[in-house]
Structures are given as C-alpha cells and as structure tokens.
Amino acid sequence: MKNEVTLRQFRYFIAAATTGQFSTAAIAEHVSQSAITNAVQSLERRLKLKLFERLPHGVSLTPEGQVFFHHALHVMDAVNDALNHATLKPQAMEGTIRLAATYTVLGYFLPDLLSRYKRSYPNVEIDLVDMERRQLERAVREGNVDLGIGLTSNLEQRDGFHVHTLVRSRRRVWVGAGHALANHASVTLDQISEHPYIVLQIDDAEAAAMRHWPDGGSHLKVAMRTASLEALRGLVAHGFGVSILSDLVYRPWSLEGKRIIALPVSDPLEPMEVGLLWRARSEPRGLVDTFRQFLIQACEGTDARPTAA
C-alpha cells in the first residue's frame, strides 16, 4: 500500500533521532544514508508533520518529532518483547521480587522496563527500594535483596557478587543553545575546561566526571555543584556552565523549555554502564531468574538511548 508504515522506517527514524545525524544512523543500521533519509521523509509525508529540524552538523527532533519518537520506541519495544521473550515462563507466574536500584537507574532507566515486564507478568510484585551505590552493594552481598541495578561503571570492587552489564551509555558535553561551543561538531576536554563547569553530585557523578582529566579536574572552573539534575539542566540551558553527562539522562529541553545541546567529545571518555548485581555463589532461580532473563534480553545488543539527540 502507498501509505504503509513499516517497522524498518521506525527503526531508521529512531536511529536518526538518537544519533542526531543521518550519516551516523546509516552506519549504525548498515544501510546507505539515502535509506535513512527516505524513511524519515516517508514518515513525515504520512504524518503530515515535520519530524526533524535540519542543523549545520546534524538534525534535532521537532516538538512533534519528540512525541512520535516516544510512540516509535514503544512500538519497537513491544515487537522486541514479543520476539525475544516468548521462551520465558507464562503469565500465570506470581510472587514478589526484592529489587534495589540507585537514583539514576530509578529515574531514567528502570520505569519503562518494569512497565514492559508487568504487561507480561501482571501477578508479579516488584518490591522496589531506592539505595545509594554502597548501600546497594551491601544489600546484595548480604542477601537482603534478590537483585540490584546500579551504575556498575562506578563500582570500586566486585567481590561478593556477580555483575552483568545491561547497557553502556556514551558521555557527551551539555551546552546551552546560545553557548560559544554550541555550533561545534565536537569539542575537546581542553576546550570544555575553558568554560565554567557545573558538577552533578548524585550517583557518584562528580567522581566519574573528574576522572575525565589527568589532574582529577583540579583545574576546572567549577561554577556550581548540585544534587538536582533538573537544576543542572536549567543552569546549562541558561548558559551558566557546561557539564559532561551520559546520554541515559539527556533531555533536549530544560523545565523552562530552553534548548540543551549534547556535543561529542573528541577525547576518549569511558561510557556509563548500568548493570545487574546478584549475590556470589547464589545464582538466581525461579521468579528472580525469569526477571533477570527478561532484563538481559530486553537490553541485549542495545546502548542506553537518550530521549533524543
């Protein structure tokens, strides 16, 4: 049919939205750039909407594109769940899973996965506990929770539990739309350090950020430290400073509706990793193992994606 929409178009659109460049999306999907362009244009014609703003160094979703992006993600997630989780046990399973997670995981990674799991296993209860990393590690080691999910890239030592990385999320530098760096295709750590820097103080984010520099960030012009991610967004959007953070927590707008741009950093940066932790010498069984398998399969072969680039 002339106006038929395909899953391939959805996939190419999501790739373009998350990478911010049609060329990079084409490389990720192993197709020509024209295939990405044609898929996006077909969707725009079908929807009678403009999904992307074309920028000098890539593309950015329009407000309408943002809405469609979320719908497209839900469609692809539902398809992947149907294909990948058919071997898991039936919906009749019931019981309670004790799950601990850290702030970033709870706010930006876990809710959608839990929603997908509950659709397949409505009779399973998730006893969810918010813990900071060290508390979570201790709870897993002592068997006070069945599973933990945290930022495994921040683990200081892994004795006493097993770790399975679920996703890796690249780190980029956030700047306001009017910032001096905003029109750069990419920036270096030296360029970043020339500007006021805003430090996030949740989930070991400050320690992770300081590791980017050989001197531990002692030369940075720290404008502010904050434990509020939304406060950091607002400060960046208004031009008070820049900050290096992962795509997992990236959003292109502050609460006031001001634009935030995430730029690639040309120097090598370690990605942020989110992973599962469970007690050593105590392999999960039954309901807990089914939940573990669901998370692993749901995240298999994917990187943590931002709302959109």
More confident residue, 110 or 282: 110
CATH of 95-169+272-299, picked from 3.60.10.10, 3.40.190.10, 3.40.50.300, 1.10.10.10, is 3.40.190.10
Distances (CA, A) of 176 to 55, 173, 180, 182, 251: 15, 10, 9, 7, 12
Return the closest-CA partner of residue 28 out of 14, 45, 9, 42. Answer: 14
pLDDT, averaged across the chain: 88
Task: Give me the half-sphere count of Cα atoms (radius 13 Å) on the Cβ side of residue 96.
Answer: 6
CATH of 171-263, picked from 3.40.190.10, 3.90.1280.10, 3.40.50.300, 3.40.50.180, is 3.40.190.10
Report residue 163's pLDDT band, with 50, 70 and 90 as the boundaries. Answer: very high
| pLDDT tens per residue, range 61-93 | 888 888 888 888 878 877 776 776 655 555 567
The answer on pLDDT for 20 being more than 50 is yes
CB-based burial of residue 43 (10 Å sphere; 0-12 exposed, 13-18 middle, 19+ buried)?
A: buried
More confident residue, 197 or 5: 197
Report residue 1's pLDDT band, with 50, 70 and 90 as the boundaries. Answer: very low
Give the torsion sign (CA, 52, 170, 234, 178): negative
Q: Identify the architecture of domain 7-84 in CATH.
A: Orthogonal Bundle (1.10)
